[in-house]
Amino acid sequence: MTKLRLHDAPFAPNPRRVRMFLAEKGIPLSGGPIEHISMNLVEGAQHSAEYREKSPLGHVPCLELPDGECLTESRAICTFLEAEFPEPNLMGRDGRERARVEMWDRRVELLVAMPLMMWVRHAAPALAKIEKNQNAEIGAWYAARAAEFCGWMDQRLGETEWVAGHRFSIADITAVAGFDFAKMMKWRPAPEFANLARWRSAFDARPAGSVGP
Ligand SMILES: N[C@@H](CCC(=O)N[C@@H](CS)C(=O)NCC(=O)O)C(=O)O
């Protein structure tokens, strides 16, 4: 099989989701089925005409398949990888479990990870060069939403070991990608969220926990 070309960038949370997913599958970024291409977003590599042909929105990650088709949404890339490399399963084994994992993955993405990412994009001085229209007030609004939903996630993790239930899944990866991006704002979940802390220690002990920014 010809290699799958993964267009990636350091310090970007969405391609990191794919790298964490690959780590859990035991697939290395070199020497295996993946050809890893690291791009510099600050220098604008995502805007080159050549890259825009692969990813019209100029976003990473992008997974270029051997026949040239390009997948450019991190979750869609994970769906493809799950089908190609089914074990260990990270997205649910039957229809019911797949639906449950998707439900939790969308919740943590839309209610926790996305608000955290939007906060950072609007407020982190280091991103001013990429984000042309930063707005501190909008950033603060997102920060408040994320904090609110962290409480809800803490409650959930008081009932289940992992976000989507008793098994580790893509939903845990999505949440950690959002949490860690917010470290750019020196953010950490509030210390009273003991369930979140327990979950995070368990995450860090897994293969995905060793994937750098
Ligand atoms: N929904 C997309 C979001 C992709 C995305 O926003 N990628 C960011 C990095 S995390 C990017 O490429 N930013 C570069 C830019 O906007 O110029 C996904 O999950 O893949």
Quote the ligand 1 centre to 61 CA distance (angstroms). 7
Q: Is the dihedral angle over the CA atoms 56, 50, 9, 167 positive or is it negative?
A: positive
Task: Note whether 170 and 21 are within 8 A (CB).
Answer: yes
Taking residues 48-67, what's their average pLDDT?
97
Q: What pLDDT is stored for residue 129 in this prediction?
A: 85
What atom of ligand 1 comes closest to residue 9's alpha carbon? 9
> What integer is the mean pLDDT of 157-169?
98
Q: Is 59 in the pocket of ligand 1 (CB under 6 A)?
A: yes
Which pLDDT does position 130 carry in this prediction? 85
For residue 75, give every residue at least 6 positions away whose Cβ sits within 8 Å of its Cβ, in sequence order, or none.
17, 105, 109, 170, 174
| Domains of the chain, earliest start first | 4-84 (3.40.30.10), 95-206 (1.20.1050.10)
Higher-pLDDT residue of 10, 2: 10
> For a pocket test of ligand 1, which of 11, 14, 131 has the largest count of ligand atoms closer than 8 A to its C-beta?
14
Query: For residue 60, which of 50, 45, 78, 81 has the smallest C-alpha distance?
Result: 45
Q: Is the pLDDT of residue 184 over 60?
A: yes
DSSP strands (E only) in the chain:
4-8, 34-38, 62-64, 70-71
What is the bridge-based pairing of β-strands 4-8 and 34-38? Answer: parallel
- C-beta separation of 122 from 134 below 8 A: yes
The more confidently predicted of residues 30 and 1 is: 30
Predicted pLDDT at 2: 83
How many H-runs (helices) and E-runs (strands) does the chain carry? 8, 4
pLDDT digits (tens, 9 = 90+) for 67-84: 999 999 999 999 999 999
Q: Can the peptide bond before residue 66 be classed as cis, meaning omega within 30 degrees of 0? A: no
**The pLDDT of residue 194 is above 90:** yes
Render pLDDT for 81-139 as a digit per residue (tens, 0 to 9).
999 999 999 999 999 999 999 999 999 999 999 999 999 999 999 899 888 899 999 99
Ligand 1 centre distance from Cα of residue 194 (Å) = 31
In tens, the pLDDT along 5-56 reads: 999 999 999 999 999 999 999 999 999 999 999 999 989 999 999 999 999 9
